[in-house]
Structure 1
């Protein structure tokens, strides 16, 4: 008998259907010489310090550097103690019995670093020595599963991937455990959390927040001409900026008196805009956050569901390219979508596919995210959005170049230069797929200009003095944070530069969402609409460690680069481990010598129920800290996460202003206010006519 172990029951069922294992048992499926069982994610992990005889936070115990890391089953919290999860223990017993009876194991956990670790930790915990092969596939279609089973690879081919995964797991333990205990000791009270990737990520959020908060805006003035000639009008803006309003007004008067603006130069250039690359997970998460305000975690969750539904390929990929052999299948994948309501016509017109996203050398463990060719059935509204984003990006990536003729015109008045820009699209190319002809930063330059030649004279009808202000860099959103995590803190707009720095980013496409969610769960950051804002607790941690090695983004990026080299066999895992032990010792020493100044400054609000000043805003709820009361308002209401302001309005006024974007059970959006009813529960309130803004509840 052969045992196939998958990462989830749903994947196990898909594989079982292919191999003919139709008999259902407790914890596995059986038939046709196979038993297909499953994990529930990480069933086994690294033991906590207590398993090494170390209890409590004591300075003399640090740094904790186990000679051999112990593996234990997943634990859950019962009261104040952690105990083995009964469900985990039951499934491990099933897996042990199957492994003992089988001749060979087929590993079908997710084909990536974490999937490899999930299996190997189970395999090692059970002290199994049975031979195993690897099923390595990029989609869960029947065709992909069959093909993968026909071309299984020796498990040993993935030893280096496992060494990388184990090195990452142990590094996170060494840094997280030692740094967190050291900081908690320095603080004198409370439990504080630091992490190898978590803390540099927090540092990027906090440093941007403080930079934004401390920014002193400066006023400046520019002139805008209102020009006319033969029925045409233009409004070029001055090249010069003035810091003094009086000077700006004086010059505006002189310009207006002149009456004529002369075209000094007309510069035209043809610009070719290549289509965007296909999505990897980070690119998909960034765009879903920008367009739909989805969190990185939500996008990953939806993409995983589409993958398990056989609609898209493996989502946890870091590559934006296809191999040549996969590229050859794209026309067939798209052929079934000729009647698609949004993109059917584009599919019909797509002939010679652009191969910019094709590069065998840049395909890592998995290629970019694409459709499998299967048509979706009844998807939820959010699932449809992500599916259509991936579909649209495929069509864009394989479409022709967008060609624009960009024009820059310089007008001169009394030796002052005024600029206006325009563009004509000669070939829409890939931009015709979505119909968006310019990026956000190009929109002002995308207007069509009238015929203009050097020496032309235009009448100055009036001159406006525009008051402007310098602006700080905006607070991080999840999209911008994912970008700087990907490029090791560097803010890059050029796609090629971003791709080049991927190997030294912090975290991986598969883990960045979880890292951001950890910062929320630790109550280090909160969302304010799309922006990420540190809490007082988060700022206390940041200010304490900002100059320490634990917050060094570049160093964390170098560790990630090293892990990638371990996975390819270019670096020895033992050498990496020694380096991490030295690093853990250094950061522990740094943190133990400092004194953490902190106090609980979480703002509290009057509880509508018990009338005490005891309600605090947490990541998922507004909660009364009075244990006898227990009043709570959940942030998520009909698919919409309420902001801090919404919760504060409910607590202080009993009602919010109009909130947009609730989702009904029929998956239609609607707008409404929220108010507390007689039982203090938040309920919808619509306008006086009783009509919803859109959709149904």
Structure 2
């Protein structure tokens, strides 16, 4: 008799169906020599500080460095503190009873670092010593499960993966528990202030980008452009030394404009170059999340949840992958997947075209496949999908067709004109156009070339020495721009490379083991920063809250805020998995680091602005009394000096419309909002839209569009 332990009930039932274990019991299935049961994610976790005798938070207890970690049943927080999760406690007891009935175990938790840890913690907590084998599959199709059952791997082969997973869990415990307690105690214990090994450098990146963006001082500059025509109109821009010239002052730009007006230009250089743009690599989880956010506004957590649902519906392969490559064996199945896509309407035409051609093998590399290969659709055809499921499924199918498609061929035309005037100016005028002559992989979505405006123009047929009259000339005022605020998509991209700016797909893939977190954990890290009130959304952008900025200011000089350090740790965790770094050495380094960090945080006691961290605190001064600070609460925003008589108030709900924090802040800081939709007239009961303004009497009123 064998016991199969899956990660969740739905997966357990699929495996039981294949094994013939069709007798339903309470919490498991039985039949054909198998018992099949499941976890509900993590049933067992590292014990909290109280299990080591530290029942209260005290500076004298820190740092807490257990000699060895113990395990406890999953804990949940109730009104009277933490206690065992009843569902987890019941299931772990059942698994223990089932283990007594079998000779061998089949581990069928998700085939990855967290899945391995889920089983090993259960195994260790129950004190089990029975042999186990590993089911390692990348999809839940019937064929994949059958093949996996027939090719079970020895459990000991995954010991390095477990050691890596356990080191990550213990490192997160040591840094998170000690740094959080130290910072909270240093603030006077007036509210929980959370720090973490991955969470804090991620917060630091968000804060640094926000401060650089909001503190950016734009510098004006000027461009001089001319309009030309030969059959079709096109433009050119002033250059110096082969580069577009930014004029620092307006008179200089206007001087050139005046000299060129009404003159003739002569073509002195013409270059045509055919360029090939190779298709993008297949998706891993991170790149899928980035595109789902950029194209459709889905959060990282939502994309992961939907991808997991599609995986459990047997429509895509294992989603928590960090690889953008497949092996030669998987590549052999790709033609069949493309033929399947021919019957899926959004991609029927590009799939039918692709199946006739030689497939591009840029995403095929056995040496770059890690635990799981890149995301692919399975051979199963989708039935009815929800809106968000269709978005994610279409992205996966579309990327498969792109990745195995032909290169996109472009003709890049660059022409340089000199102005026929004396004395000859030091400036020439350049025009550049990009024409897609063969779309290749770009035809899958019908996506046009993403180029700056100047490059989108068509350049007519020209020859060197040809002269054209200047039809128009003008000076365009510009300003330097800061780096944009992070969106979830761009933040995920930055986490991949620990904040380093890397655009090349292949280089990013090579650096993936040096990033912040893993593809499977980054969404949860961002989600936690939202949930603990350190970051917020402004439309699509992510910004720190006053609380988040205050925490950042406290730790910005400390190594816990440095993305590169955390990236180095992630690399060592991967090296442990690959058996080229010692788990013991890693944990010694983490323990020493934790001791130093905890001491540093405790030594800054008294430097924390607790008031800025109160729920709803904005850090915005009161426009009425000029003394207090505005706090936004559930029903209204008000001044902290209300006890001293300041009655400044903005109600959260106006004309049946509940305002967002961002709208309230704009009203206070700028005196007005943009157009807000969703108001309802109390007289007619009809919806309307309007902007809000804050009057000199500090009362809110509507402003309607004159149109």
* RMSD of equivalent CA atoms: 2.8
C-alpha distance in 2 between matches for 1:95 and 1:252: 82
Residue range with higher mean Cα deviation, 47-56 or 131-140:
47-56
C-alpha distance in 2 between matches for 1:471 and 1:650: 25
Give 3-state SS (helix, strand or coil) of 1:54's partner. Answer: coil
User: Which of 502, 526, 530 pairs up with 1:516?
Assistant: 526
C-alpha distance in 2 between matches for 1:296 and 1:243: 42
Alpha-carbon shift at residue 24 of structure 1 (Å): 1.5
Which residue of structure 2 aligns with residue 61 of structure 1?
61
Matched-pair contact (CA < 8 Å) for 1:269–1:406? yes
User: Which of 263, 280, 283 pairs up with 2:284?
Assistant: 280
Q: Quickly say closer, same or farther: Cα 1:221–1:63, change in 2 above 3 A.
A: same
Q: Render the CA deviation track for 1:154-186: whole Å, top value 9, x for unaligned.
A: 111100100000000000000001111111122
Which residue of structure 1 aligns with residue 13 of structure 2?
13
Alpha-carbon shift at residue 674 of structure 1 (Å): 2.5
Residue range with higher mean Cα deviation, 100-109 or 492-501:
492-501
**Residue 489 of structure 2 corresponds to residue 479 of structure 1:** yes
Q: Quickly say closer, same or farther: Cα 1:234–1:552, change in 2 above 3 A.
A: same
Alpha-carbon shift at residue 656 of structure 1 (Å): 9.5
C-alpha distance in 2 between matches for 1:296 and 1:131: 38
- Give the count of matched residue pairs: 648
C-alpha distance in 1 between matches for 2:370 and 2:87: 35
Alpha-carbon shift at residue 442 of structure 1 (Å): 5.0
Matched-pair contact (CA < 8 Å) for 1:528–1:644? no
C-alpha distance in 1 between matches for 2:62 and 2:152: 45
The answer for unaligned runs of 5 or more in structure 1 is 607-612, 626-631, 635-640, 660-672, 689-697
Alignment of 1:189-208 (within 5 A): 189=189, 190-208=191-209
Q: Quickly say closer, same or farther: Cα 1:624–1:515, change in 2 above 3 A.
A: farther
Matched-pair contact (CA < 8 Å) for 1:657–1:674? no
User: Which of 262, 285, 290 pairs up with 2:266?
Assistant: 262
Q: Quickly say closer, same or farther: Cα 1:216–1:453, change in 2 above 3 A.
A: same
Q: Quickly say closer, same or farther: Cα 1:399–1:633, change in 2 above 3 A.
A: farther
Which residue of structure 2 aligns with residue 330 of structure 1?
334
Which residue of structure 2 aligns with residue 402 of structure 1?
408
Matched-pair contact (CA < 8 Å) for 2:675–2:689? no
C-alpha distance in 2 between matches for 1:113 and 1:283: 19
**Residue 428 of structure 2 corresponds to residue 417 of structure 1:** yes
Alpha-carbon shift at residue 100 of structure 1 (Å): 1.4
Q: Quickly say closer, same or farther: Cα 1:566–1:624, change in 2 above 3 A.
A: farther
Which residue of structure 2 aligns with residue 299 of structure 1?
303
C-alpha distance in 1 between matches for 2:161 and 2:198: 20
Which residue of structure 2 aligns with residue 645 of structure 1?
662
Matched-pair contact (CA < 8 Å) for 2:257–2:473? yes
Which residue of structure 1 aligns with residue 96 of structure 2?
96
Matched-pair contact (CA < 8 Å) for 1:29–1:36? yes
C-alpha distance in 2 between matches for 1:342 and 1:647: 42
Q: Quickly say closer, same or farther: Cα 1:345–1:518, change in 2 above 3 A.
A: same
The answer for unaligned runs of 5 or more in structure 2 is 240-244, 420-424, 623-628, 640-650, 691-707
Which residue of structure 1 aligns with residue 542 of structure 2?
532
Q: Quickly say closer, same or farther: Cα 1:624–1:140, change in 2 above 3 A.
A: farther
Alpha-carbon shift at residue 122 of structure 1 (Å): 0.8
Give 3-state SS (helix, strand or coil) of 1:498's partner. Answer: helix
Q: Quickly say closer, same or farther: Cα 1:93–1:686, change in 2 above 3 A.
A: farther
**Residue 313 of structure 2 corresponds to residue 309 of structure 1:** yes
The structure 1 segments of at least 4 consecutive aligned residues displaced by more than 6 Å after TM superposition are 621-625, 647-652, 655-659
Alpha-carbon shift at residue 594 of structure 1 (Å): 1.3
Matched-pair contact (CA < 8 Å) for 1:650–1:676? no
Alpha-carbon shift at residue 584 of structure 1 (Å): 0.6
Give 3-state SS (helix, strand or coil) of 2:382's partner. Answer: coil
**Residue 256 of structure 2 corresponds to residue 251 of structure 1:** yes
Alignment of 1:147-546 (within 5 A): 147-189=147-189, 190-229=191-230, 231-239=231-239, 240-257=245-262, 259-350=263-354, 351=356, 352-413=358-419, 414-439=425-450, 441=451, 444-546=454-556
Normalised TM-score (structure 1): 0.88
Alpha-carbon shift at residue 644 of structure 1 (Å): 3.5
Q: Render the CA deviation track for 1:613-657: whole Å, top value 9, x for unaligned.
A: 998369xx99999xxxxxx999xxxxxx996335779999xx997
C-alpha distance in 1 between matches for 2:493 and 2:659: 25
C-alpha distance in 1 between matches for 2:686 and 2:577: 53
Matched-pair contact (CA < 8 Å) for 1:617–1:644? no
Give 3-state SS (helix, strand or coil) of 2:413's partner. Answer: strand
Alpha-carbon shift at residue 286 of structure 1 (Å): 0.7
Residue range with higher mean Cα deviation, 233-242 or 169-178:
233-242
Alpha-carbon shift at residue 340 of structure 1 (Å): 2.1
Alpha-carbon shift at residue 676 of structure 1 (Å): 6.7
Alpha-carbon shift at residue 447 of structure 1 (Å): 2.9
Matched-pair contact (CA < 8 Å) for 1:274–1:401? yes
Which residue of structure 2 aligns with residue 692 of structure 1?
none
Alpha-carbon shift at residue 347 of structure 1 (Å): 1.4
Q: Render the CA deviation track for 1:338-397: whole Å, top value 9, x for unaligned.
A: 232221111111131111100000000000000002111111111101100111100000
C-alpha distance in 1 between matches for 2:577 and 2:221: 53
C-alpha distance in 1 between matches for 2:49 and 2:376: 43
C-alpha distance in 2 between matches for 1:573 and 1:82: 30
Matched-pair contact (CA < 8 Å) for 1:5–1:37? yes
C-alpha distance in 1 between matches for 2:531 and 2:559: 23
Give 3-state SS (helix, strand or coil) of 1:316's partner. Answer: coil
Q: Quickly say closer, same or farther: Cα 1:393–1:238, change in 2 above 3 A.
A: same
Normalised TM-score (structure 2): 0.87
Give 3-state SS (helix, strand or coil) of 1:468's partner. Answer: strand
Which residue of structure 2 aligns with residue 638 of structure 1?
none
Matched-pair contact (CA < 8 Å) for 1:267–1:409? yes
Alpha-carbon shift at residue 431 of structure 1 (Å): 0.9
C-alpha distance in 2 between matches for 1:219 and 1:298: 41
Which residue of structure 1 aligns with residue 133 of structure 2?
133
Matched-pair contact (CA < 8 Å) for 1:656–1:675? no
Which residue of structure 2 aligns with residue 36 of structure 1?
36
